[in-house]
C-alpha cells in the first residue's frame, strides 16, 4: 500500500483550493484599495498566492501521474483507468480519461495562463487575476473529495480515493490490504494518438476563453469600458484557433477510430463545444469591428461573457449525467451536478448583474448604421452566427428542460429528433450559406469604400463570377441538388472574394492577411463537408437478393456485406476477399496470421510456430517470442480492382473484457476520395461453434483425403516427448500426426496428438485435436493401427470464418482537412499581429 | 425605426421560428403502449423507447434472433412499464449488445413489430463498476 503519495496528492488538492480562495480575496482587496502603495502590496501578496496555487496544482498532477505510472492499483483512479500492459504514451491519456483528471488538465492550463497574465498585464492584474482565482477555486472544489461533517455533504470527487473506499466488494472486508494485480485498463477507444493530444488542446481552448471573459469583467469593474478589448482580442483569437483545432481533432479522431462513419455526429457532447466556438467567432469579429469603427461595444461584452458562460454550461451538460439517455459518450455522474450548477450560476448571475449595473454607463454610438458600411454586414454575420449556435443549443438542452419542468411537477419527455444528423445539418447548412455570403461581402466593405457608384464592379461582378465558377463545378461533379448547389456557390464565393482580398493585403503587408487566409480555409471546409457528407455513399451493398425475414413488409437497404474467408465477393467496382484474422506485432508494426502463433502463459506474449516473413522480410524465427495485444484483432481484407490488387485493408476490432467491443475502420486514402471500411459484426470466437458430427477415415502416410472440401495429406506420425510445452514423462506415450492441408492461398499444418496415459498400468486414451480455424476444420488422431500401418483420423467441420463489413466512399474529404489547416494558419497570423499591437 | 432595431427584430423572429420548428421536429421518450397508440392514430414520427433486454430466470437473454446471414436481427425489449415488444433492427447486432444494461431504441411501429432505426446502448460497466474483476 503506497499511502504516502495519495495523502500527498490529497494535501495538494486542499492546498490548491485554499490558495485559490486566498488569492481571490487578496486580489479583490487589491482592486478595492485606493492607496497605491497598499495596492502594490496586495498585488504582491496575490501573486505569491497564485504561485503557491500553481505549485499545488503541479503537485496534484505529479501525485496522480506517479500513481498511474507506477501502477498503484490500490488507488481507484489507477485501477479503473489503467493496466499493466498499457503502452507508455497512453498513460497520459489515462490521466484525463476520468473526470477528475480532465478537471486537473483544465486547471493546469488556467494556472499557466494566469502566470503569463501576471507577467504581461500589469494594469489589469488585480481584476483579471481575481476572476482567475475564483474560477480555479471552483475547479479545485470539484476534486476536493471532502465530506462536511454533520451535513454529510460531499464536496468534489477526489482522484486519490483508495479502491477499498470506492468499492463495496466483499474482499475488502476480509482483507483490507488487498491490491488487485492489474487494472481494468483504458477504454480502447482512447488508445489512439489523437486522444493523447485532443483533450489537452480542447481544455487549453476552454481555459483560454476565460481570458477575454476576465478582461471584459475587469473592464466593467474598473469602468474601462473599451480599453479591455485590446488585450482581450489576441487571446480571443488564440482561443478561437485552439478550440477550433481541438474540436476538429475530435472529429478526425472520430473519423479514424469510431465506426460511426463520420467526423461529426451532432452528439450533444460535440454540440456542447461547437456552440461556444461559434459564439466565440462572433465575439472575435465584433471586437475587431470595435477596434476600427468604435461600434459594437456592448455586443462585444455580451458575447465575450456568453462564450465563457456557454463553456460552463457545456461542462454542466457533459459532466452532470443529465445527458444520460441522449448521448453515447458523456461522462458518468460523479454526484457533482449540484456543484457544477452553483459554478454555472455564480458566474452567470455575477456577470449579468455587473453588466446590468454598468449598462447605462457603457458608451454606445447613437449614429445610424449605413447599409454601405462594414458594420452593417458584420453585424448581420454575427447575428447569423449566434442564431446558428442557438439552433443547436435548443435541442441539445432538451434533457435540461425535461428535468427543469419536472421540478415543477410538469412531466416532459421531449427528445432530440430521431435522425439528429439530418435534423441539424438541414438548418446548419443554410446558416453556413448565409455566413459564407456575409463574410465574403464584409471583406469587400472592410478593405474598400463601397457605395452606390462602384458596387456593381466591386460586388455584383464577384457574385456573378463565383456563380459561373460554381456552375461549372456543379456540372463537372453532377451536384444536382439545389441546396448543395447553393452551398457550393457560397463556398466558391467566400474563397474567391477572400483570395482577392488576400492578394491585396499580402502585397500591402503580409501580417494583415490572417483574415483572408482563415476565410479561404472556411470556404474549403464548406466544400469538403458538402462532398464528404452529402455525397458519401455506402458501397458495401448486399446484392445477393436474399430475403432476411418474411415478416417484414418493407424492403430495406442492406448496407453490409458478409464475407466468408477466402471467398472473393464483389463490391461495386471492387472485389473483396477476407483473408483471415491477424494479430499485430506490437513493436514491429506488421500483421501476423493468428494460426502462426501459439499462446503462452502471458496473453501479451506469443510464440511463433513457423518462420514469419512479411513482404519477403523475415521478422521472426520459429519459437521466437512475439509481443502482441490480445485485445486487438485485425481483419485482413484484400481489395482488388480489375484483377489487380489495390490495397490490403486491416480494419480492427478491439475486445476488452470490461470495456466491451469496439470497431475501428481502415481507410484507403486517395486524393479525390477515401474508402472507409469497418467491421460491423465480427465472429464471436468465445462462443463454441457448432461442429458437424465426427467423420472418421483411415489413411496411410502420404495418402490424400479431403477436409471440409480441401485437399489434405497425412505427412508424418511420430512419437513426442512433450505436449503443449509440458514434458509428458516416461509413464505416458504420445504420438503426433502432421497433416498438411492445401488452402486457397497457403498450406495449413495441423498436428493432432494421441496420448496414452499410464501406458504400463491402467492405460487411458486422451485426444488433443487441432483446429484449423481458417478452414473451419478440426482434426483428431483417433487411433493407430500398427499392423496395417494405418491411422484413423477424425474430422469435424463447421461454418467457415466470416466477418461482416460496411464500406463507404467519402469524396474530397481532404479538402476539409486542408481547409482546417488554412483556418488554423490564418488565425495564427491574425493572432501574432494582435499580440504585437498589445 | 433604426436599422439596428430591424436587425434585432429579425433575429428575434428567426429565434422564435427556430424554437417552433425544433419543437415540431422533436421526438419524445415514450413507452411501447404510447408508441403503438401513436402509430395506430397515424403518427409515423420516430420516437425513443427506453428498456432492457428480456431475460429468463437464469439471467439469460431470450427472444433474440439473427437472420441467417447475420446482417439483421430482432430481440425482445421490456420497457419501463414491463411491456414486452419485439424489435427488429436492420443492421448486424452491435458489439456488446448483449452486455448492455439499458437499450434506447429509436424508431417506429410497423404493424406489430417495432422497427428500430437506431440503437443506443448504455453499458454502465463500461465506465463505472462496483465489483472487482476476477476476484
Band of residue A165 on the pLDDT scale cut at 50, 70, 90: confident
Tell me which residue of A398, A269, A705 sits closest to B22, measured CA to CA.
Answer: A398
Q: Averaged over A782-796, what is the pLDDT?
A: 90
Band of residue A304 on the pLDDT scale cut at 50, 70, 90: very high
Nearest residue in chain A measured CA to CA from B112: A551
pLDDT (0 to 100) of residue A393: 94
Residue A729 buriedness (CB in 10 A; 0-12 / 13-18 / 19+): exposed
ipTM above 0.90, yes or no: no
pLDDT (0 to 100) of residue B123: 57
- In tens, the pLDDT along A119-132 reads 998 889 999 999 99
Subunit contact A551:B113, Cβ cutoff 8 A: yes
pLDDT of residue A237 exceeding 90, the answer is yes
Subunit contact B45:A418, Cβ cutoff 8 A: yes
Subunit contact A394:B68, Cβ cutoff 8 A: no
- Contact predicate A247/A274, CB 8 Å: yes
- List CB contacts (< 8 A) between A331 and chain B: 127
- In tens, the pLDDT along A581-625 reads 999 988 788 999 888 888 888 888 898 888 888 888 889 988 889
A223 is written with which cell numbers? 469602468
Backbone φ and ψ of A747, nearest 5°: -85, 145
Q: Which of A269, A681, A682 to mutate to test the interface with B (most CBs of B within 10 A)?
A: A681
pLDDT of residue A183 exceeding 70, the answer is yes
Tell me which residue of A654, A652, A656 sits closest to A665, measured CA to CA.
Answer: A652
Cβ neighbours, 10 Å, residue A572: 16
Which residues between 35 and 74 in chain B have a beta carbon less than 8 angstroms from any beta carbon of chain A?
45-48, 50, 67-72, 74
pLDDT of residue A230 exceeding 80, the answer is yes
| Residue with cell string 494594469 | A123
Q: Give A90-143 as a 3 state SS string.
A: HHHHHHHHCHHHHHHHHHHHHHHHHHHHHHHCCCCHHHHHHHHHHHHHHHHHHC
Q: Which of B29, B68, B127 sits opposite A413 (nearest CB)?
A: B29
Q: Which of A383, A554, A558 sits opposite B11 (nearest CB)?
A: A383
- In tens, the pLDDT along A239-260 reads 999 999 999 998 888 888 776 6
A801 is written with which cell numbers? 470464418
Nearest CA to CA, how far is B56 from chain A (Å)?
Answer: 20
Band of residue A333 on the pLDDT scale cut at 50, 70, 90: low
Q: Averaged over A713-738, what is the pLDDT?
A: 82
Nearest CA to CA, how far is A170 from chain B (Å)?
Answer: 9
Cβ neighbours, 10 Å, residue A161: 17
- DSSP letter for A73, please: T
pLDDT of residue A548 exceeding 70, the answer is no
Subunit contact B132:A368, Cβ cutoff 8 A: no
Task: Characterize the bridge pairing of strands A777-785 and A770-772.
Answer: antiparallel
Q: Is A58 helix (H, G, I), strand (E, B) or coil?
A: helix
Q: Averaged over B57-86, what is the pLDDT?
A: 84
Gyration radius of chain B over CA positions: 21
Nearest residue in chain A measured CA to CA from B47: A418
Nearest CA to CA, how far is B64 from chain A (Å)?
Answer: 14
Dihedral angle of Cα A451, A455, A458, A460, to the nearest 10 degrees = 150
- In tens, the pLDDT along A112-161 reads 999 999 999 888 999 999 999 999 999 999 999 888 877 777 888 899 99
pLDDT (0 to 100) of residue A388: 95
Nearest CA to CA, how far is B103 from chain A (Å)?
Answer: 9
pLDDT (0 to 100) of residue A508: 85
Nearest CA to CA, how far is A374 from chain B (Å)?
Answer: 14
pLDDT (0 to 100) of residue A332: 59
Band of residue A549 on the pLDDT scale cut at 50, 70, 90: very low
Band of residue A650 on the pLDDT scale cut at 50, 70, 90: very high
B59 is written with which cell numbers? 439471467
pLDDT (0 to 100) of residue A663: 83
Task: Characterize the bridge pairing of strands A612-614 and A726-727.
Answer: unpaired
pLDDT (0 to 100) of residue A56: 97
Backbone φ and ψ of B76, nearest 5°: -110, 125
Nearest CA to CA, how far is A559 from chain B (Å)?
Answer: 8
Q: Which of A80, A552, A562 sits opposite B70 (nearest CB)?
A: A562
Residue A478 buriedness (CB in 10 A; 0-12 / 13-18 / 19+): exposed
Q: Averaged over A754-766, what is the pLDDT?
A: 80
Residue with the bigger pLDDT between A403 and B132: it is: A403
Q: Averaged over A41-60, what is the pLDDT?
A: 96
pLDDT (0 to 100) of residue A554: 41
pLDDT of residue A542 exceeding 80, the answer is no
- Contact predicate A755/A721, CB 8 Å: no
pLDDT of residue A106 exceeding 90, the answer is yes
pLDDT (0 to 100) of residue A147: 83
Task: Characterize the bridge pairing of strands A790-797 and A666-668.
Answer: unpaired
- List CB contacts (< 8 A) between B66 and chain A: none
Task: Identify the weakest region by mean pLDDT among A47-51, A798-802, A816-820.
Answer: A798-802
Q: Which of B45, B47, B71 sits opposite A804 (nearest CB)?
A: B71
Nearest CA to CA, how far is A257 from chain B (Å)?
Answer: 15
Band of residue A325 on the pLDDT scale cut at 50, 70, 90: low
pLDDT (0 to 100) of residue B66: 80
B111 touches chain A (CB under 8 A): yes
Q: Which of B10, B90, B135 sits opposite A171 (nearest CB)?
A: B135
Q: Percent of chain A scored above 70 by pLDDT?
A: 95
Best-predicted range by mean pLDDT (A52-61, A566-575, A717-726, A826-835): A52-61
Band of residue A545 on the pLDDT scale cut at 50, 70, 90: low
Band of residue A555 on the pLDDT scale cut at 50, 70, 90: very low
Q: Averaged over A453-460, what is the pLDDT?
A: 78
Dihedral angle of Cα A564, A570, A572, A577, to the nearest 10 degrees = 50
Round to whole Å and give the CA distance between A193 and A833. 32
- List CB contacts (< 8 A) between A180 and chain B: 132-133, 135
Round to whole Å and give the CA distance between A402 and B26. 13
Residue with the bigger pLDDT between B44 and A9: it is: A9
Subunit contact B18:A325, Cβ cutoff 8 A: no
Nearest residue in chain A measured CA to CA from B51: A325
pLDDT (0 to 100) of residue B126: 39
Residue with the bigger pLDDT between A559 and A275: it is: A275
pLDDT (0 to 100) of residue B37: 86
- DSSP letter for A362, please: S
Secondary structure element (H or E) that encloses residue A9, with its range: helix A3-32
- CA angle (A605, A607, A612) in 5-degree steps: 120
For chain A, helix, strand, coil in percent to 5 are: 50, 20, 30
- List CB contacts (< 8 A) between B15 and chain A: 387, 390
Secondary structure element (H or E) that encloses residue A475, with its range: helix A461-476
Nearest residue in chain B measured CA to CA from A189: B126
The whole-model pTM stands at 0.88
pLDDT of residue A16 exceeding 80, the answer is yes
Give residue A132's Cα distance to chain centre.
Answer: 28
Q: Measured over all CA atoms, what is the biggest interatomic distance in chain B, rounded to whole angstroms? A: 75
Q: What mean pLDDT is reported for chain B?
A: 81
Best-predicted range by mean pLDDT (A23-37, A452-466, A670-684): A23-37
pLDDT of residue A353 exceeding 50, the answer is yes
pLDDT (0 to 100) of residue A544: 57
DSSP letters for A204-249: HHHHHHHHHHHHHHHHHHHT-TTTTHHHHHHHHHHHHHHHHHHHHH
Amino acid at each position: 500500500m503506497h499511502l504516502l503519495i495519495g495523502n500527498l496528492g490529497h494535501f495538494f488538492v486542499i492546498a490548491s483550493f485554499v490558495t485559490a480562495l486566498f488569492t481571490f480575496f487578496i486580489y479583490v482587496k487589491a482592486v478595492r484599495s485606493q492607496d497605491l502603495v497598499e495596492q502594490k502590496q496586495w498585488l504582491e501578496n496575490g501573486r505569491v498566492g497564485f504561485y503557491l496555487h500553481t505549485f499545488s496544482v503541479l503537485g496534484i498532477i505529479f501525485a496522480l501521474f506517479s500513481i498511474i505510472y507506477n501502477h498503484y492499483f490500490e488507488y481507484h483512479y489507477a485501477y479503473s483507468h489503467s493496466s499493466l500492459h498499457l503502452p507508455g504514451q497512453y498513460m497520459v491519456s489515462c490521466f484525463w480519461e476520468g473526470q477528475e483528471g480532465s478537471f486537473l488538465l483544465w486547471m493546469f492550463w488556467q494556472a499557466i495562463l494566469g502566470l503569463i497574465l501576471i507577467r504581461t498585464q500589469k494594469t489589469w492584474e488585480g481584476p483579471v487575476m481575481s476572476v482567475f482565482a475564483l474560477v480555479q477555486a471552483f475547479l479545485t472544489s470539484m476534486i476536493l473529495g471532502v465530506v462536511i461533517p454533520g451535513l454529510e455533504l460531499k464536496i468534489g470527487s477526489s482522484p486519490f480515493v483508495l479502491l477499498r473506499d470506492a468499492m463495496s466488494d466483499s474482499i475488502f472486508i476480509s482483507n483490507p490490504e488487498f491490491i488487485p494485480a492489474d487494472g481494468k485498463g483504458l477504454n480502447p477507444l482512447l488508445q489512439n494518438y489523437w486522444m493523447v493530444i485532443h483533450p489537452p488542446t480542447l481544455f487549453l481552448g476552454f481555459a483560454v476563453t476565460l481570458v477575454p471573459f476576465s478582461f471584459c469583467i475587469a473592464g466593467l469593474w474598473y469602468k474601462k469600458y473599451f480599453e479591455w478589448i485590446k488585450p482581450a482580442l489576441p487571446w480571443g483569437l488564440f482561443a478561437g484557433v485552439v478550440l477550433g483545432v481541438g474540436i476538429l481533432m475530435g472529429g478526425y479522431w472520430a473519423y479514424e477510430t469510431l465506426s460511426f462513419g463520420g467526423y461529426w455526429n451532432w452528439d450533444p457532447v460535440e454540440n456542447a463545444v461547437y456552440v461556444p466556438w461559434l459564439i466565440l467567432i462572433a465575439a472575435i469579429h465584433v471586437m475587431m469591428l470595435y477596434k476600427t469603427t468604435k461600434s459594437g461595444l456592448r455586443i462585444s461584452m455580451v458575447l465575450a461573457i456568453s462564450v465563457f458562460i456557454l463553456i460552463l454550461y457545456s461542462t454542466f451538460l457533459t459532466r452532470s449525467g443529465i445527458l444520460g439517455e441522449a448521448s453515447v459518450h458523456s461522462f458518468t455522474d460523479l454526484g457533482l451536478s449540484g456543484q457544477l450548477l452553483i459554478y454555472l450560476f455564480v458566474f452567470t448571475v455575477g456577470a449579468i448583474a455587473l453588466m446590468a449595473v454598468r449598462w447605462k454607463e457603457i458608451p454606445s454610438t447613437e449614429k445610424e448604421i449605413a447599409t454601405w458600411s462594414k458594420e452593417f454586414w458584420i453585424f448581420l454575420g454575427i447575428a447569423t452566427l449566434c442564431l446558428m449556435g442557438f439552433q443547436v443549443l435548443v435541442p441539445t438542452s432538451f434533457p435540461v428542460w425535461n428535468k427543469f419542468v419536472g421540478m415543477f411537477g410538469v412531466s416532459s419527455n421531449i427528445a432530440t429528433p430521431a435522425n439528429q444528423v439530418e435534423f441539424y445539418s438541414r438548418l446548419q447548412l443554410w446558416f453556413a450559406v448565409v455566413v459564407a455570403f456575409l463574410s465574403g461581402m464584409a471583406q469587400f466593405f472592410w478593405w474598400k469604400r463601397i457605395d452606390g457608384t462602384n458596387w456593381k464592379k466591386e460586388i455584383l461582378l464577384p457574385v456573378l463570377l463565383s456563380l459561373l465558377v460554381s456552375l461549372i463545378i456543379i456540372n463537372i461533379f453532377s451536384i444536382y441538388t439545389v441546396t448543395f448547389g447553393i452551398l457550393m456557390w457560397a463556398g466558391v464565393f467566400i474563397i474567391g472574394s477572400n483570395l482577392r482580398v488576400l492578394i491585396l493585403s499580402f502585397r500591402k503587408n503580409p501580417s494583415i492577411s490572417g483574415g483572408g487566409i482563415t476565410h479561404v480555409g472556411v470556404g474549403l471546409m464548406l466544400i469538403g463537408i458538402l462532398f464528404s457528407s452529402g455525397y458519401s455513399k455506402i458501397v458495401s451493398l448486399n446484392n445477393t437478393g436474399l430475403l432476411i425475414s418474411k415478416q417484414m413488409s418493407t424492403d430495406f437497404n442492406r448496407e453490409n456485406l458478409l464475407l466468408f474467408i477466402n471467398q472473393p465477393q464483389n463490391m461495386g467496382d471492387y472485389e473483396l476477399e477476407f483473408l483471415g484474422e491477424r494479430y499485430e506485432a506490437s513493436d514491429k508494426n506488421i500483421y501476423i496470421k493468428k494460426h502462426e502463433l501459439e499462446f503462452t502463459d502471458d496473453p501479451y506474449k506469443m510464440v511463433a510456430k513457423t518462420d514469419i516473413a512479411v513482404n519477403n522480410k523475415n521478422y521472426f524465427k520459429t519459437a521466437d517470442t512475439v509481443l502482441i495485444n490480445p485485445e486487438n484483432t485485425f481483419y485482413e481484407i484484400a481489395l482488388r480492382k480489375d484483377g489487380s490488387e489495390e490495397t490490403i485493408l486491416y480494419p480492427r476490432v478491439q475486445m476488452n473484457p470490461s470495456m466491451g467491443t469496439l470497431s475501428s475502420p481502415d481507410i484507403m486514402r486517395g486524393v479525390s476520395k477515401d474508402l472507409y471500411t469497418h467491421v460491423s459484426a465480427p465472429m464471436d470466437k468465445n462462443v463454441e461453434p457448432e461442429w458437424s458430427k465426427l467423420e472418421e477415415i483411415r489413411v496411410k502416410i502420404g495418402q490424400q483425403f479431403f477436409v471440409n472440401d480441401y485437399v489434405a495429406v497425412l505427412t508424418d506420425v511420430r512419437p513426442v516427448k512433450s505436449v503443449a510445452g509440458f514434458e509428458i514423462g516416461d509413464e505416458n506415450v504420445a504420438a503426433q500426426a502432421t497433416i498438411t492441408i492445401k488452402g486457397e492461398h497457403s498450406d495449413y499444418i495441423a498436428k493432432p496428438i494421441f496420448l496414452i496415459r499410464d501406458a504400463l498400468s491402467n492405460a487411458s486414451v486422451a485426444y488433443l485435436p487441432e483446429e484449423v480455424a481458417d478452414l473451419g476444420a478440426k482434426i483428431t488422431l483417433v487411433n493407430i493401427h500398427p499392423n496395417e500401418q494405418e491411422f484413423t483420423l477424425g474430422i469435424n467441420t463447421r461454418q467457415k470464418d466470416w466477418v461482416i463489413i460496411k464500406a463507404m466512399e467519402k469524396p474530397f474529404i481532404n479538402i476539409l482537412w486542408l481547409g482546417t489547416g488554412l483556418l488554423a494558419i490564418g488565425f495564427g497570423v491574425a493572432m501574432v499581429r494582435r499580440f504585437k499591437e498589445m | 425605426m433604426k436599422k439596428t432595431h430591424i436587425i434585432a427584430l429579425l433575429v428575434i423572429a428567426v429565434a422564435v421560428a427556430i424554437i417552433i420548428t425544433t419543437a415540431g421536429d422533436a421526438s419524445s421518450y415514450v413507452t411501447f403502449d404510447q408508441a403503438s397508440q401513436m402509430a395506430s392514430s397515424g403518427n409515423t414520427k420516430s420516437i425513443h423507447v427506453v428498456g432492457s433486454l428480456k431475460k429468463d430466470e437464469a439471467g439469460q437473454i431470450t427472444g433474440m434472433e439473427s437472420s441467417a446471414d447475420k446482417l439483421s436481427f430482432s430481440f425482445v425489449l421490456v420497457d419501463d412499464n414491463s411491456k414486452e415488444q419485439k424489435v427488429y433492427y436492420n443492421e448486424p447486432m452491435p458489439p456488446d449488445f448483449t452486455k448492455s444494461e439499458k437499450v434506447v431504441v429509436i424508431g417506429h411501429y410497423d404493424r406489430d413489430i417495432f422497427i428500430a432505426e437506431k440503437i443506443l446502448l448504455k453499458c454502465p460497466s463500461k465506465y463505472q463498476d462496483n465489483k472487482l474483476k476476477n476476484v
